[in-house]
Amino acid sequence: MPEAPLFPISRVHIELMTDEIGIFQHAIGSHPDPAHGYCVDDVARSLQVDLLHGRELGWDAVAPSAWRSLRFLEDAFDPPTGLFRNFRSADGAWLEGRASQDSQGRAMLALGETVSTAGDRQMIDRASRSFMRALPTAQGVAALRARSSVLLGCQAALPILADRPTMLAHRSIAQRLCSAFDRVAGSAWPVIVKPLRRNSM
């Protein structure tokens, strides 16, 4: 049976939820709720959506939005800590408090994918610099989901960057994830399931 065609891409809601700073964190119905401002997690996701939409709509259709999200991530990076700040108020001020590890992983994943798929050489260069600045601290995240996101960011960026720090981070994170899996799974996992035989006619 042939697959049904997908609906055409619509960017109406993304554009409605976004202002000159970035995509708002929450909405009331279909309208943004400025009271909750912005967060790195959602801006990173918005950047990933732009990269995907760019494949279908062409880079020019998503470039302004992608650049806005990249600038947000650049501004979110805090050099003294090596971390991305997460929450930002509607007036653009960064809020105090340590950012979640998930936000670090999500930012690194979006930056890695930007390095590998952006349709703009200048954006690739800027995303590469941001990725490399954040990598030393990001590769040390402990939460498994965040660690996996950083690994996927390395996987995306590595063919373009082809540098030793990214390669070593990729290897180290992968080994730590394998070790974590082995500690939890034990010898009984994974179970090899034999394919079922068809009944003879």
How many domains is the chain partitioned into structurally? 1
Residue 188 lies in a domain: no
Residue 105 lies in a domain: yes
Q: Domain range holding 32?
A: 12-178
Q: Which CATH number is 36's domain given?
A: 1.50.10.10
Residue 192 lies in a domain: no
Residue 196 lies in a domain: no
**pLDDT at residue 97, rounded to an integer:** 81
What does pTM read for this prediction? 0.89
**Nearest to residue 41, comparing CAs of 103, 112, 93, 92?**
103
Residue 68 lies in a domain: yes
What string of pLDDT tens digits covers the 201 residues of the chain? 678 777 889 999 999 999 999 999 999 998 999 999 999 999 999 999 999 999 999 999 999 999 999 999 999 999 999 999 999 999 999 998 888 999 999 999 999 999 999 999 999 999 999 999 999 999 999 999 999 999 999 999 999 998 999 999 999 999 999 888 888 877 676 655 455 444 443
Residue 132 lies in a domain: yes
DSSP 7-67: PPP--HHHHHTB-SS-B-S-EETTEE-GGG-EEHHHHHHHHHHHHHHHHHH-HHHHHHHHH
Residue 41 lies in a domain: yes
Other C-beta atoms lying within 10 Å of the C-beta of residue 109: 26
Residue 185 lies in a domain: no
